Each structure stands twice: as C-alpha cells, then as structure tokens.
Structure 1
Amino acid sequence: MPETNTARLVHRLATLRERLQPEMDRREFLRTLVTGGYALGMAQLLGVEDFLAADDGEVPIVTARVRENPDDPFSLVEQTRDVPAEWYAAVQNAFELNERLARIAYTGYLGSAVVPGDYASGTASISIGVSNEGQSAREMIRDVSEGISINTETIIEIEEIEDGFEYAEPRYVESVDDGRVPSGIACETPSSLATLSPALYHPDEEEAFFVTAEHAFKDEPDPVGHPLALPLDRVERLELGTVVYAHPGEDFVAVEPNGEMRPVSRIAAPSPVRVRGQYTRLGLADLVARGEELEKVGALTGHTTGRIQGVDAVTCFTDEFCRRGQIRWGGEMDLTDGDSGSVSYHSDPDGRDDDVLVAGFNNARTWWPGQSYVWGVSAYKLTAEHGYHF
C-alpha cells in the first residue's frame, strides 16, 4: 500500500524532532528546521512561533483546554505554560517508550505508567507491574528502555480482591428544586450505587450528559436503554434519564437527560466548585513535576486529596483487555464501592478561586500489597477516543 501524504508528514516530523536538542538556542532551532527541508510557513504547524516566544531553554506546552466563556461549554481555548526543554524531551520519550511496551504485551505484563520528574531534574521514568510470569522479561525491558529509568515491580495474587472498607452512608443530594444536579453525590443504576460525574459534553450533539461508571451496571451486559436514578434518601428516587452510550473500555456511560433534571458543571465539594475544562496529557505531567495534588468527591468517602503517581498509564489488571490513557493518584483508601464515577480534579490556575479542571474519572483502586493508588481514565483520553469533554 503506498504511503499517504499524512504518513510521510508524520514520519518527517518524527525525524525532525530527533534532530532537535533541548540545549538548542533559537538560531540553531531555525537552522535545523530549514536544513530539514521545512519552509518557515509551516511555523504554526510545528509550533516554531511559540518556541521562539519562549525563554531560552524552554518550550511551550498545552496544559489544558478551558472555556473562554465559563457559561459556554463549547468555547474551548488552550491554556499553555513554558517548561524546560530537557524535561519536555524526557517526558515525550517516556510516553513513546510506554506505548511501545504496551504494544509488545510481553508475558506477565500487567501495566505501566509514566512518572515525570521535577523540572530541575529534567527526567522521567516508567513504573511497570509484572506478574510472576513476567519476571523473565526484565532484561528485555531494559534492552528497549533507551535511557529512560525503568522501575519494575512484581504483583502477586491480583485476582483476590481484599476490601478493607467499612460501609459508609452515601451522600445524597439534599434538593434539586431548580432541576440542576451537581456531581459528587450518589446515583443509582438498576443494580448498584455509584457517584455522579460532572456534565460531559459532546461537540457533535452539543448536549450535556449525565455520566457515571459503566461497571455500575454490573448486572446488565449492555447498559444502553437502562435508567439512571437520583436517590434523595433511602426511599425517594428521581429518574435522571437513560443510557444512550456505553463505553466499557473507558468504563463510563453517557445518560441522556429526561428533560426534568439537567447535569451541570458543578461538584458538591465542601466548598462547591465549578468545572471550567480539563487537563491534557502534558498538563498532568506538569502537575506531577510541580508536586501538585488532585482532589475528588465520592458518594461514599467524600472529599479527599492525593498526589499523582503516574500518567498515561496502561492498566491490564481486571479484564482481558488493557485500558489506556489512565491516571494513577492518591491511595487505595481514597476510593471504595460507590465512589466510581467521581472525577479527580485540580484548581484552574487562570480561573476564579472556585474554578477547577478535571484530570480524569475514578474507576477502581489497588487491592494488592506494595502499591496503593486510585486509577481511572484521563479526561484527555475521552476526548481523543470519543470527542467528549468536560
């Protein structure tokens, strides 16, 4: 099959990036661009103008996509930040190596995650989990590491779930007099309790959906067409709508409102917050580099905070397929049954005091010795795969 123009361009961009070095100044960057056969008219495509605008030794990255008009969920603009070029190169190389490891899918591979270093170090590493069967692959992993630090840990008896949580009273919404339903409170499927997510939007339909975890419909092979309800207490229920889209790979469902209740971009935190957008993959890496923590509000465990332990993660613990674009954060005590469907978030650096940006969903937690974190699909993955955004 002949190579397409797009494929040739992607190959040329990859080749060019290999020739760019973090210590280059602007003049050297331009010289490399021109000798590579690129016209300066491609500056915007390659990000050259932003590069030239940054300080020496730094490059701009897109950290988030936020609403220019907070009341218009489709008025998205990019939020940027200048970061050290050496750190950027290390993180990008780690992302590529992590994808390669997932594609190899060697025996015993249970998952991996990129762990960006701080800006001063200019480094990034990869954390890999293997079963007993995967111990023989350690040498192979080192062979393809290409200078990226690899931390490999053997995980045993992962099929035995150890639930150490005591039952807690779910957080019910107190009232919905205006029909606007915030997130972080309990919702009910025909088979279980979960946590309601903030409104999720799709640009093709320009509609706001109620959202929660797909696995909360555990007794339904296909959740589409099944209802999602809002419990006001142990007895009274309000129907929010029915599932119109189910995405088991990313573990979430989109529920079309029934017209009476509407999803909103609000989280019922101790001090309620407003969702104004979401982080990109590099935006999450930036949070790790700066030692920032994420927050979440679950229907059972309430409001908790914790540090990010890995981004762009691959998780193969629970199903016959691997989940990609995951985020790991906090500890296993930050999530229990009924918290699935909540989101992790961080304050918006350019917004009001009550504005936040979503990092990702919370879908599960570790249950094996030696590791402790919550994992779930990152918001940027939902956008890349299905077009949804917060």
Structure 2
Amino acid sequence: MVSTVTDPVSVNRRFGGTGRITTGDHDCGPSTADSGRLVQRLATLRNRLESGMDRREFLRTVVTGGFAVGMAQWLGVDDFLAADDGKVPVVTALVRDDPDDPWSIRERTRHVPAEWYAAVETAFEVNDLLARRAFTGYLGSAVIPGSYESGTATVSVGLSSDGHSLGQLLDELAAGIDINSETIIDIGDIQDDAEPREPRIADLTADGRVPSGVACETASSMATLGPALYHPDGQRRFFVTADHAFGDDRDTTGDSLLLPREGDETLEIGTVADYHPVDDIAAIAPDGRVEPASRIDAPSQPRVRGQYTKFGLADLVARDEELEKVGALSGHTTGKIQGVDAVTCFTDEFCRRGQIRWGGEMDLTDGDSGSVSYHRDPESEDGDVLVAGFNNARTWWPGQSYVWGVGAYRLTEKHGYHF
C-alpha cells in the first residue's frame, strides 16, 4: 500500500539543443547555483560549436574558458567535432558477436542528428539534476525524446500539491523554457485484478534450459522468470526475477526459486545469490538441475542477443517503435515507450532511477513482475531481440497509464549485469 498524494501535477518541459553538463557521482549532486553556472558555461560552448567552430578555435575556447584541454570528451563535444553532415555517433546497444557466447558483447553505434542528440542529452542531464535536488513535492520525472525531425526532447515532471518550487528551479537551470502543466487525480491504493488467469507453465528448451516469460514461485508469491542474466565477474550466469516476489524489507539471500510444472509439481532451480531491492531484481544462482536460457517464451521463441542502451531507447522513441513483453499471467503484449531514464518516487521512501515507462496499465498484472520488455534487433536476420528493461509494476491511479521498471542499461551501469 502507498500513501495518498494530493493533487499531483504532471509538468512537461520542451528543450532544444543546448548544453551538456556532468554532475559527478549519482548519489550526491552539486548545489543548484553551481549546477546553473555549469549549465550556462557548457551551453555557451556547445552553442558555439553548433554554429561552426573548428577544432583550433575549440581548443582556444576551452583554454580561455578555464577548462582543461583534455576535457573534450568529458564535455561531450568531441563527437560534435567528429560529426559529418550534422550527425553524431551514439552507442545504441550492447550486442553479442557470437549469439551463443554471452561474453562476446560489444557496443553498437548509430549516427543520429546532432541537434536531436544535443536536445536529448540536455533533457537527460536536467532530469538528473531534478532527481538529485529532490525538491518538496517531487514525485518523479522522465525524458521523452522527440522525433529526429523535431530535434527536441521533453522532461515530464510529476508533482504533488506542495511542489510549487518547480518553476523557480527550472528558471535556475535554464531560462526561457515554456512549462505546461496538467493536473491528474489522486494516487490511491493498488487495485487487484478482478479476473483470475492461468499462469504460463515452463516448457524447457531442447537443451534443457528455461526460457523467459513463464511462471516462477517463491515461498510467498508468483512472478515471471526473466531471460538469463550474466555478470562478467567470474562469468556467472543467473536466473532472474523481481525481488519483491521474495518479500519486502529483508535479506532474501539463500531463498529458493521454484518452477511450477504440469499438475502440482514444482522444481527448485536455484537460490538467491544477489538481491537489489531499489532496482527490484533478484539474481538466482542455478543449482545445476536446469539452466537459464537467453530465449523468450513467445510463439517464435526469439533469442536474446543483447540489450539497448539509454540512447538506444531514445532512438526507438524517435522512430516511434514499440516494445514487447511476455508475462506469466498476461502473456504477450506490445506498447509505445512513454518515457526513458525515468525517476519513480511514487511507491517508496526512496526513488528508483533509470526506469522505463511503456505501454499501458493493462500490459502488466500481478504475477508478471520479472518479465522483460524487448524489441526486435534491427540488424538480425534470425529474429533475435534486444532487452529494453525489466518490468516491475504498473500505474494504478487515474490519469496515467504505463508499465514501469528498471532499464537494462541501468543494471549494467550500477551492478555490471547484462542480458
């Protein structure tokens, strides 16, 4: 259950291509005044680059502006200097060279319009600053990239009724930006599904591995099994599902994960090796009887070949692409991405970072937590897919409708895992 929030407001802010900022460690941030001065300095430098500054002039500007000469990459401007025809390279995915070797993962790049890149990068950075400031009434925020043609991005901010400091805060970050607000109805208690559903029971693959999208059980609840999760430390392979399925506010290390079989049979497949309650994932070490599979239990049994980065998700939004998922209870659904790199503070005393918002509230039901959202790999000839994120919950309050969960890129950045 969650406490009721009175008169939340959704505030949308549209950005054009301005500056890039870096704010240090994710767990602590600079003062608003320092952040504002940094925004202004970097915005000025980037604007001059976009107007045609060459390398020699750039170096001279960096030195006279008080920056170190070697900070072009830190400032995010080396890509602009290397750009051709107004395009810049961004890393959109981590993909295996050998689909059967999870340790052959490499970066995939795509060239995107420089104006769009600058707008989206700025929106990411302002979104980060808003989350760090955690001002009174802040409930969360998300970046909504525009199309490539528009060259814009939006930061959508959720506020409670006492969140009136937002206008002043945005003015401090960057002047001259329009703010549009929309009032939504109170957040109440979560509603259970009225109609019971039959869970999807695992059908082991030919090599005895367990695919994603089927039911798994803990001592207290049912969830959905995700595809094989990998960690380079010791080249470990895990089953994965939602941590909240094991219970809240306790150490779940050593808890067993069970696989329902036909009839009343269950098969123990491993125990929790690592759990991360903020990101709501539990990594389960296999006990050797069966192994996790990089497969989704959809009709075509697509193979997971990697995952999208934050900019890879932004690219999907710019191209109006949809995500898919297979849950143990609701099965296969598709939906539009509604926000990336989101911050969610609705349900706990802490905020969850690196979230994806997609689809609608009907795309997830109780028992679907632990499934993944994914999208077809555009460069695969075999129907392979790339994981977007991990589904943890859905909205249950009127006025907003989406599934939310942690992005795969966040799990890599914060914990080292990859799909």
TM-score under structure 2 normalisation? 0.83
The equivalent of 2:20 in structure 1 is none
CA shift for structure 1 position 258? 0.2
Given residue 50 of structure 2, which amino acid in structure 1 is its aligned partner?
E
The answer on 1:170 being equivalent to 2:196 is no
Tell me, yes or no, if structure 1 residue 206 matches structure 2 residue 227: no
Q: Deviations over 1:163-220 (max 9, x none)?
A: 3452111000134663211111111111111000001100112011000000111267
How far does residue 131 in structure 1 lie from its aligned partner after superposition? 1.8
Write the distance in 1 (CA, Å) between the matches of 2:147 and 2:266: 48
Deviations along 1:22-58, one digit per CA (max 9) or x if unpaired, are: 6345x62553145424999988888888656643211
CA distance in 1, matches of 2:56, 2:245: 53
Partner Cα separation in structure 1 for residue 227 and residue 293 of structure 2:
6
CA distance in structure 2 between the partners assigned to 1:275 and 1:251 by the alignment: 21
Secondary structure at the aligned position of 1:389 is classed as coil
Displacement after TM superposition at 1:143 (Å): 2.0
The SS at the match of 1:120 is coil
Aligned to 1:58: 87
Q: Which of residues 385, 390, 395 is equivalent to 1:361? A: 390
Distance 1:176 1:18, change over 3 A: same
| Alignment-derived partner of residue 216 in structure 1 | 245
Contact 2:202 2:260 in 1 (8 A): yes
Change (3 A) 1:281 1:231: same
> Which residue number in structure 2 is paired with residue 23 of structure 1?
50
TM-fit CA distance, 1:148:
5.3
Aligned residues: 379
Residues 57 and 154 from structure 1, CA distance in 2 versus in 1: closer, same or farther, beyond 3 angstroms? same
CA contact (8 A) 2:224 2:371 kept: yes
Tell me the distance in 2 between the aligned counterparts of 1:97 and 1:165.
Answer: 40
Deviates more, 1:346-355 or 1:89-98: 346-355
2:158 aligned residue = 129
Residues 329-340 of structure 1 aligned to structure 2 (within 5 Å): 329-340=358-369
**Residues 161-170 or 238-247, more deviating:** 161-170
Q: Give the distance between the partners of 1:387 and 1:219, measured in 2 at CA.
A: 24
Moved more, 287-296 or 29-38: 29-38
Residue 367 of structure 1 and its aligned partner are, at CA, apart by 0.5
Which whole-Å CA distance do the structure 2 matches of 1:259 and 1:17 have between them?
A: 54
- CA deviations on 1:359-382 (whole Å, 9 max, x unpaired) are 100000000111000000001100
Counterpart selection for 1:36 from 43, 62, 74: 62
Residue 297 of structure 1 aligns with an amino acid whose one-letter code is: V
CA displacement 1:214-235 (0-9 Å, x = unmatched): 0111267221110001101340
Which structure 1 residue ranges, 5 or more long, are not aligned? 1-5
| 1:253-264 correspondence runs (5 A) | 253-264=282-293
Matched residue, 1:271: 300
Query: 1: CA distance between counterparts of 2:167 and 2:76?
Result: 38
Report the equivalent of 2:214. Answer: 185
> For 1:365 and 1:221, how far apart are their aligned partners in 2?
23
Match of 1:321 in 2: 350
What's 1:103 paired with? 132
Quick one: distance in 2 between partners of 1:42 and 1:140? 31
Q: What do residues 124-150 of structure 1 show as CA deviations (whole Å, max 9, x unaligned)?
A: 11111112232x234334424525554
Distance 2:331 2:239 in 1: 19
Partners of 2:282 and 2:56 in 1: how far apart?
A: 47
Q: Secondary structure at the match of 2:106?
A: strand
Aligned residue number for residue 143 of structure 1 = 171
Contact 2:186 2:398 in 1 (8 A): no
Q: What one-letter code is carried by the residue in structure 2 that aligns with 1:32?
A: F
Counterpart position of 2:274: 245
Deviation at 1:20, TM superposition (A): 2.6
Percent identity (aligned): 65
Alignment match, 1:373? 402
Aligned partner letter, 1:233: E
**Cα gap change, 1:73/1:177 in structure 2, threshold over 3 Å: closer, same or farther?**
closer
**2:312 partner amino acid:** G
What does residue 302 of structure 1 align with? Answer: 331
Which structure's relative contact order is higher, taking Cα pairs within 8 Å and 6+ residues apart? Answer: 2
CA gap of 1:234–1:258, structure 2 versus 1, over 3 A, is same
- SS of residue paired to 2:162: helix
The corresponding residue for 1:3 is: none
| Contact 2:310–2:409 (Cα < 8 Å) also in 1 | yes
CA distance in 2, matches of 1:138, 1:42: 32
**Contact kept? 1:269, 1:303, Cα under 8 Å:** yes
Provide the rounded CA distance (Å) in 1 between the counterparts of 2:286 and 2:202: 17
The answer for the alignment partner of 2:30 in structure 1 is: none
